[in-house]
Amino acid sequence: MEPIIELKNADIYQRETLVLKNINLAINKGEFLYIIGKVGSGKSSLLKTFYNELPLISGKGSVCGYHLDKIRSKEVPYLRRRLGIIFQDFQLLTDRSVDKNFEFVLKATGWRNEKSIKERIHEVLSIVEMAHSGSRMPHQLSGGEQQRIVIARALLNNPEIILADEPTGNLDPETSEALLNVFMEIYREGKTIVMATHDYPIIQKFPARTIVCEEGTIREIPNDSPMIDFESLLDELPDPSSDQLQSED
C-alpha cells in the first residue's frame, strides 16, 4: 500500500531555524496517528509541513499524491481541499452563525447549489451530533460544542485526511473523551487522522500508533513496547492557560 503521507530524509524549518531533521515517516490510508512531545519539540511544525504552511525545502515528501518538495503555489489550495484541518483555537467566524460559517467554506471551495450546500451542512453537523445548532452563533456554544463544530467544518469537503492540532487542549477531561469518541467514529469510517496532542490520558484511553518529537527528530513507539513515560513529558508542559500552548512551534 502506498502511504497517503510520506516524508523521506526531510528537514523541517521554521524560517531559518531547523526544527526537525532527517525525518522519515510513512502514514497509510485509514491510519490513526498521534504526534506527541514536549512544548516546542516540533509537533505543530510537522503538521504544518503536511498542509504546506511550512514549505519542504530539504528532503522529499508527499501528501495525497502531491509532492511537497515540488508543489507549485497554484496546487496548494487543491491539496488543502483534500485535508480537514482542526486547530485548538477553533478559528470560527464570530460574526455569523454556524450555518453561515459552513456556507462560507463551501462557497469558497466551489459549491454553488444552495440545496446541496444545506444538505451537506446538515450531514456533517449530524455526524458530530450537533444537527440542531446551525442557527447558533459561536459565542452561544461551549468549548466542547465549538470543537465539535470545527470537526464538522473539517469534514465539509469529505477530506481524505484529518489533521488535528491539540484539539482537546482547552477542554475538560469528560469533554475531551466525548470528542475522541467522535474522532474514532470518523476513523472507523476509513479516514486517516493525524493528531498532535499533549492529552496523554486520552492516548492511554484511545490507543493508536504514536510518534514522539524529541531532540530535533522523531521516534516511533513500537506497538509491542511499553507506553512512553508520559509523566516525564507532563512535567515539561506549561500551564494550560498560558500563551505558550497557543504558539508551540
Same structural domain, 209 and 177: yes
Query: Residues 117, 121, 127, CA angle at the centre, nearest 5°?
Result: 145
Note the pLDDT of residue 236.
47
Does residue 127 sit in the same domain as residue 19? no
Structure confidence at residue 241 (pLDDT): 37
Q: What's the number of domains the chain is made of?
A: 2
Residue 24 CA to residue 49 CA, distance in Å, equals 13
| Residue 32 · residue 26 · CB < 8 Å | no
Residue 246 has pLDDT above 60, yes or no: no
State whether 15 and 62 are in the same domain.
yes
Are 9 and 125 members of one domain?
no
Residue ending a domain, choose from 158, 179, 194 = 158
Cell of 203: 492516548
Position 33 pLDDT exceeds 50: yes
The set of cell numbers assigned to 145 is: 460544542
- Tell whether 76 and 8 lie within a shared domain: yes
Give the per-residue pLDDT at 237.
44
Q: Is the pLDDT of residue 134 over 60?
A: yes
- The pLDDT assigned to 249 comes to 55
- Beta carbons of 191 and 160 less than 8 angstroms apart: yes
Coil, helix or strand for 21? strand
Last residue of a domain, one of 137, 158, 179: 158
Looking at the structure, tell me whether residues 178 and 225 fall in a common domain.
yes
Residue 243 lies in a domain: no
Judge if 69 and 167 occupy the same domain: yes
Q: Which structural domain range is residue 140 located in?
A: 94-158
Please give the share of the chain, as a percent, with pLDDT higher than 90: 76
Residue 134 and residue 200 in one domain: no
Least confident of 116-120, 121-125, 141-145: 141-145
pLDDT of residue 177: 93
Cell representation of residue 95: 460574526
Q: Is residue 88 domain-resident?
A: no
Does residue 244 carry a pLDDT above 90?
no
Residue where a domain stops, chosen among 158, 184, 214 = 158
Between strands 58-63 and 5-14, the pairing is antiparallel
Pair 56, 174 in one domain:
yes
Nine-digit cell at 195? 493528531
Residue 32 main-chain phi, psi, to 5 deg: -110, 125
Q: DSSP secondary structure string, 35-68?
A: EEESTTSSHHHHHHHHTTSS---EEEEEETTEET
Q: Please indicate, yes or no, if residue 121 is contained in any of the structural domains.
A: yes
